[in-house]
Structure 1
């Protein structure tokens, strides 16, 4: 009895060069996965708010730089995994802002943010948290629009710190001088 040959796993570099067609994709352990359905307006609005808050933070402090819109973050090698983070922030100390076009940053971000969509499942969100942290991300925020809360993870084994609508995001050693109301993320 003949067995079908195993599909060849894609590398992060091949994934970033590939024409994958319509819709957002991620590379998960070497295999291309279509992210469905695409995020809605509320999701994009939260990412936009984060961009504005961090743009102001960067302008005021010069501490780092950010990217949004499912920016590529490599979380694993052999087989490769590339996630599309909703928002990432890098301190200039860990990775100075690049002066040329970069497809995949050479290091994990200081901060990775995922905004939970109705189609996301708890297990897949926790898998991403663990991947980001294991790759070297210092802190992960999971934003829950329906609850208007943010879960903050520094390691995959400990329960997160959860901040709600009336709380303040501040005193992060990874983000010196950053401060905003949780409600600003949902404004």
Structure 2
């Protein structure tokens, strides 16, 4: 039997202390694990506990049902990246997010909002 080991770059390899990253650079790195970008620096995220997952699912379900019924936009989950600051960039991983159709039409990137 053949085994394949896939290695992710370590956080120390991807974000040297003296180098600030942009959100675009973080996205281009691909899957380096659960992280956020805070003022240009990669911050690892810990897994959440089951209460957090339960409440996240409840909020997302209620939000999705309301948005779908009223046809006012989109609901996103799955730690979608959202810019909360620029120069240096901060990209937070949202548990659940709403974006109106009008605002979504203005989105230029396929990476983060």
TM-score in terms of structure 1 length: 0.46
Return 5+ residue gaps in structure 1 as ranges: 1-5, 106-187
Bigger share in helix: 2
The aligned residue for residue 81 of structure 2 is 72
Task: Note the 1:109-124 alignment, pairs <5 A.
Answer: none
Structure 2 residue aligned with 1:8: 19
- Structure 1 residues 13-55: Cα deviation after superposition (integer angstroms, max 9, x where no partner): 0111214633x1000111101123x111221111111221122
Quote the offset at 1:74 in angstroms.
0.6
Equivalent residues in 2 for 1:78-89 (5 A)?
78-89=87-98
**Partner Cα distance (2:62, 2:56) in 1:** 10
Partner of 1:95: 104
Unaligned runs of 5+ in 2: 1-16
Q: Which residue of structure 2 lines up, in the alignment, with residue 35 of structure 1?
A: 45
Root-mean-square deviation over aligned CA pairs = 2.4
Task: Report how many aligned residue pairs link the two structures.
Answer: 97
Moved over 4 A (4+): none
What whole-Å deviation, never above 9, does each CA across 1:128-180 have from its counterpart, x for those lacking one? xxxxxxxxxxxxxxxxxxxxxxxxxxxxxxxxxxxxxxxxxxxxxxxxxxxxx
Measure the CA separation in 2 of the matches of 1:97 and 1:46. Answer: 30
TM-score, normalized by length of structure 2? 0.73
Check 1:62–1:20 CA distance in 2 against 1; reply closer, same or farther (3 A cut). closer
Q: Give the conservation status (yes or no) of the 8 Å contact 1:29–1:81.
A: yes
1:69 deviates by 2.1
Q: Report the counterpart of residue 25 of structure 1 in structure 2.
A: 35
Kept in 2, the 8 Å contact 1:65–1:97? The answer is no
- Separation (CA, whole Å) in 2 of partners of 1:40 and 1:97: 35
